Amino acid sequence: MYPTVFATMDCAHTALFGYIEDLQDLSLIERPVRRSLKTPEEIERLTVDEELNDIERAVYLLSSGQDIQGTSVVANLPVLIKQNPAETLRRVVPKIREVLHVAGVEMQLTAAYSFLTILQEESLSIHSYCHSFLQIILQNLEHRDTAVSNSWLETLLPVIEALPKETIRHEILNPLVSKAQLSQTVQSRLASCKILGKLANKFEANVIRRDILPLVKSLCQDVEYEVRSCMCRQLEYIAQGIGTELTKTVVLPELVELARDEGSSVRLAAFETMVNLLIMLDHGIFTPDQQIWFLEFYRKLCRLGLQEENDQSENPVQALEMEKKYLSVRKNCAFNFPAMIVFVGPKNFQLELYSTFFCLCHDPEVPVRNTMAIGFYEVTKLLSSSLYLIHKELVALLQDEALEVLDALLDHLPETLELMTSGGESSASENKLLTVPDLIPALTTAEQRAANTLKWRSHEKLLHKYACLPRVISSDQIYYRFLHRVFTIVMTTNVLPVQKAAARTLCIFLRFNRKQEQRHEIIQKIIEQLGQGKSYWNRLRFLDTCDFIMELFSKSFFCKYFFLSVLELANDPVANVRMKLCFMLPKLKSTLKLPLDKPLLQQLELCVRKLLCQEKDKDVLAVVKRIVLELDRMEVSMDSFQKRYYEKDLVDQQKENEERLLLEMEQIEKEKQQSDGRVLSEKPFDKKRRDSKTGSALVKSISPAVTAASTSSPTVIGKEGRKKLGRSRSFSSQAIHPKHGTLEKCANKSPSCNSTGLGMGKSVLLPFADDSFKPRTTNASVNMSFSPPSAIASSSRNSSNAADQKTNGSKDIQPRKISLKNRKSNA
C-alpha cells in the first residue's frame, strides 16, 4: 500500500512544479513588455517645446525626431500648406526632400499620398506645385520597392494632366526615351507604358506620331510579356489621341500582332482593347460584305456546340472542357443580343436575327436562357413596332422549367408586359389583344411553378409583380383568372412574406376592379374568411391586409367597410391578435374625419377603454398603455382641408375622386350597353376587347403610384374627370345582390365591447350601398338626397347619436333602426 501513496505524492509534486514552470514562462513573456516602455531619456528626446509654432515644430521633428514623428509631419503637410504656404514651401518641403532619401516605406507612401492631396485640393498654383514637388516625385519614381514606386507613379499620372505642354516635354517626355529602353528595369518600362498613355492626350497628332509612337511600338515588342500586356492596354488612349485614321494604320496592326501573342494575358489585353475601340470605329466603316460576314459569324457563335456531333474517340475530359467553352460563348452572345439589334436595325430583326433569337431563348443550357431573360426587356424596348414577333418567346421564358430563368424575367416584367400589350407605335390593335389570351395562361403557370418550389423569394417576387396586371389586362380577366388564386394564397400559404405580398396584390386588384358586385364579393370574403376566420393566423393577416387598404384606398372607403371589423378583433381570444390591433390603433384614428366620423371615433375610444379595463395579458396591456399616450397626442383631422394636413388630405381626396370615377365609368358603360341593346347579344371576344380598352385606359389615367410600394404625390384629376364627376355624382339606385347579405350582416355588427355597458353612437351599420366610393360631406341632408333609403337607414357615417341598447350575455347589439317613412318625408 505504501508505494502507491508515495507514487501519488510524486505525481502531485511533479504537477506542482509544472505549474511553477508555466508561471515562470508567463513572467518571461511579460519581461519584453516592460522593457518596451520608454526610458526617461527616450521620453526627453521625444518631448517638443510647446512654445514652437507649427512650422518650427515640423522642421524640428524632421531634423531630430524619429521616423514616426517625421511621418506625422509629412501626413500633415496639406494642412500646413493651407495655413502658411510660403513658410511651408521655404522651410518644410526642403527638409522633406532630404529625409525621403533615407526614409522608410511608410514615410514614402505617406509622402506620395500627401503630394497628391495637395494637387487635388488645389492649394497651390500649378507653377508653384511643379517647382516644389515635381522633381521629388520623379526622383522617387525609381524606388527599389515596387509598392513605393507604384504609389509615386499614381501621383505622377494626375500631375501630368495638370502640367503645361512645355513642362511635360522637358521634364517627362525627353527623359522617357531613355527609361523605355530594354536596358532599363522591367519596373521602369512598365511605368513608361502608363506615362505614354497619359501623354497621348496632351500633344497634337503629329507630335505623338513623331515622338511617342516609336516608343509605343518598341514597348509593344518588349521581351517581357508584362510590358507588352501593359502597353497593349494603353493603346486605347493612344488611339484617342491620334484619331481614327492613324488608329487604322498604326494601332490596329499592333493590336492584331498582340492578339496572336504567346502570352494569354497579352491576348486578353488585346481583345479588351479592341472591344473598347469599337466606340471609335463606327460601324459605318464596315462595308456591306463585312457586315454580312460579321452577322454570319455572330450567328455561328450563337449555335456553337449545338449542331456538332460528339466524337466518340475524343477524350471525355477534353469534351467536357469544350462544352464549357461553347456554353460560355453562347452566353456571351445572349448578353450582346440587344447590341446586335442595334447593329442590324429593328426593321431587319425578323429577317436577320429572329431565328437566332429563337435559338437562344430555347437553348438547352439554363445560363443562356437566363441571360436572354435578363436582357428581354432591352430587346422589347428596341423592337417597338415588331413586338408581336417575340411574344411566343416571352411565353416560353415565363413557362421555363428553370425557376432562375423566370426570376430573371421578373425584374422588368411590368415594363415588358406593358410594352407587349401596347404593341409599339404602329402595330395593329388586333395584335395587342391577341397576345393576352396567351399571356394569361403563361402567367398563371409561372405562379404555380414558383409556388410548388421551396424558393419562396421567387414566389414573393412574382406576386409583387402581379400588381402591374391592372395596367395590362382587363378587370374581368384579373377577377376570373388571378384574384381568387391570390386570395387562396393569402389563406393557405405558411410563408409570411409570400402571404403579405399576396395580400397587397389582392388589395391592388380590389382597388382597380370595375364592377361593384365583384368588389362587394371580395370585401365580404376578406372580412368573413380573414377577419372572422377560425385561424388566428388568418386574423393576423386580415390586419396586414387592412394596413394595405389604408395605404391604397381613401379614408372613407376604409372607414365604411373595414373600420368596425378591425375593432371587433379587440375581443379576439389570441393575445397576439389583440396586440397587433393595439399597434394599429393610431393608424385607425388617422383615418377619421370630424364631424362625420364622430360615431366611429366614439367606438374607437370605447374599444381602447375596454382594453385598458379588461385586458388580462400583461404584454398586451403594456402595449395598450403606451399606445394610449400616442393616441392622446394625435389630433383628428377635419372634413375641410387643414394647413398642417394639406398634402395628406389632398392625396386622400384624389383617391376618393378616383374611386368615384371607377363607379361612374361602370355606370356609363352599363348605360351605353343598354342603349345599344348589346347586353345579351354581345360576342364574348368583342366584350373582352372593349373591356380591355376602357379598363386599361382608366387604370392608366389613375395615378400609377398606387400600384407601386411608395406613397403617391398629390395629383389632380383632369378636365375630363371633372366633367364626368359633375355629370353624375353617385350611382346609388341599384340594389345590392342577395349574396351580399352576409357582408351586410357583418357590417351591421357593433364592437363587442359595447356589451359591457360602454356607450355607443347611434346606428353604426355599414351596408354595401352602390355609392360606396362617394366622398363624404359635412351636410347630412345632402347625403340623404343622393342615397337610397336603405343606405341612409343603415350607414353609420350619415347618422346622428342615439341611445345605446344593451343585451345580456350577447356580444352583438341590435341598434335602433330609423323609420323609413321619416327618412322619405325628410328627403
| Helix H or strand E segment including 594 | strand 593-594
C-alpha cell at 825: 318625408
User: What are 594's strand-pairing partners?
Assistant: 638
The answer to whether 806 and 813 have CB atoms below 8 angstroms apart is: yes
pLDDT at 559 over 70: yes
pLDDT at 13 over 50: no
State whether residue 160 is helix, strand or coil. helix
> DSSP class of residue 212?
I
DSSP per residue, 418-437 = HHHHH--SS--HHHHHHHHH
What confidence score (pLDDT) does residue 322 get? 87
What confidence score (pLDDT) does residue 804 get? 36
What confidence score (pLDDT) does residue 734 get? 35
| Helix H or strand E segment including 638 | strand 637-638
**Around Cβ 433, how many Cβ atoms within 10 Å?**
17
CA-CA distance, 264 to 358, in Å (whole number)?
Answer: 34
Q: Is the dihedral of CA 449, 453, 458, 459 positive or negative?
A: positive
CA-CA distance, 231 to 251, in Å (whole number)?
Answer: 11
What confidence score (pLDDT) does residue 227 get? 92
Percent pLDDT > 70 in the chain is 71
pLDDT at 222 over 60: yes
pLDDT at 676 over 80: no
pLDDT at 732 over 80: no
| Confidence band of 642 (pLDDT split at 50, 70, 90) | low
| Helix H or strand E segment including 593 | strand 593-594
Q: Rounded mean pLDDT of 434-460?
A: 84
152 CB burial (10 A radius; 0-12, 13-18, 19+): buried
Q: Rounded mean pLDDT of 530-552?
A: 91
pLDDT at 360 over 90: yes
CA-CA distance, 665 to 700, in Å (whole number)?
Answer: 14
pLDDT at 373 over 90: yes
DSSP per residue, 438-482 = HHHHHHHHHHHHHHTSS-HHHHHHHHHHGGGGGGTS-HHHHIIII
C-alpha cell at 156: 505622377
What confidence score (pLDDT) does residue 201 get? 82
CA-CA distance, 1 to 4, in Å (whole number)?
Answer: 6
Q: Which of 448, 508, 461, 464 is nearest to 483 (CA)?
A: 508
Could you give the angle at which helices 646-676 and 719-727 cross, rounded to 10 degrees?
70
Query: C-alpha distances in angstroms, 557 versus 66, 660, 769?
Result: 77, 11, 12
Residues in the chain: 827
pLDDT at 802 over 90: no
pLDDT at 374 over 90: yes
Return the ∠ at Cα 825 (arms to 819 and 827), rounded to 5°.
Answer: 105
β-bridge pairing 637-638 and 593-594: parallel
CA-CA distance, 397 to 413, in Å (whole number)?
Answer: 11
CA-CA distance, 805 to 638, in Å (whole number)?
Answer: 29
C-alpha cell at 423: 404593341
Across the chain, how many H-helices and E-strands are there?
A: 48, 2
CA-CA distance, 353 to 643, in Å (whole number)?
Answer: 59
Dihedral of the alpha carbons of 763, 769, 774, 778, in degrees to the nearest 10? -20
pLDDT at 753 over 60: no
817 CB burial (10 A radius; 0-12, 13-18, 19+): exposed
What confidence score (pLDDT) does residue 632 get? 87
Between 357 and 669, the more confident residue is 357
Dihedral of the alpha carbons of 345, 348, 351, 355, in degrees to the nearest 10? 30
**Around Cβ 473, how many Cβ atoms within 10 Å?**
26
For the chain, the average pLDDT equals 76
CA-CA distance, 266 to 450, in Å (whole number)?
Answer: 46
Backbone region of residue 345 per phi and psi (left: phi > 0; alpha: psi in -120 to 50; beta: other values): left
Phi, psi of 786 (to 5 degrees): -110, 10
What confidence score (pLDDT) does residue 200 get? 83
> DSSP class of residue 182?
T
> DSSP class of residue 801?
-
CA-CA distance, 283 to 171, in Å (whole number)?
Answer: 40
Could you give the angle at which helices 105-121 and 93-100 cross, rounded to 10 degrees?
150
The answer to whether 389 and 349 have CB atoms below 8 angstroms apart is: yes
State whether residue 299 is helix, strand or coil. helix
The answer to whether 74 and 114 have CB atoms below 8 angstroms apart is: yes
| Helix H or strand E segment including 660 | helix 646-676
Look up residue 687 and give its amino acid.
K
What confidence score (pLDDT) does residue 67 get? 79
> DSSP class of residue 637?
E
State whether residue 671 is helix, strand or coil. helix
Give the range among 89-103, 576-590, 647-661, 786-800 with minimum mean pLDDT. Answer: 786-800
Q: Which of 664, 655, 687 is nearest to 475 (CA)?
A: 687
| Entry pTM | 0.59
User: What are 638's strand-pairing partners?
Assistant: 594
pLDDT in tens, 610-619: 898 888 888 9
C-alpha cell at 595: 364631424
pLDDT at 204 over 90: no
pLDDT at 583 over 60: yes
| Confidence band of 329 (pLDDT split at 50, 70, 90) | very high
pLDDT at 64 over 70: yes
CA-CA distance, 531 to 494, in Å (whole number)?
Answer: 17
Phi, psi of 638 (to 5 degrees): -95, 165
Give the range among 217-231, 237-251, 472-486 with minimum mean pLDDT. Answer: 237-251
What confidence score (pLDDT) does residue 4 get? 42
C-alpha cell at 642: 387643414
Give the range among 349-353, 358-362, 777-781 with minimum mean pLDDT. Answer: 777-781
Q: Which of 528, 461, 459 is nearest to 491 (CA)?
A: 528
Q: Rounded mean pLDDT of 512-521?
A: 89
pLDDT in tens, 485-498: 999 999 999 899 99
State whether residue 629 is helix, strand or coil. helix
Between 413 and 767, the more confident residue is 413
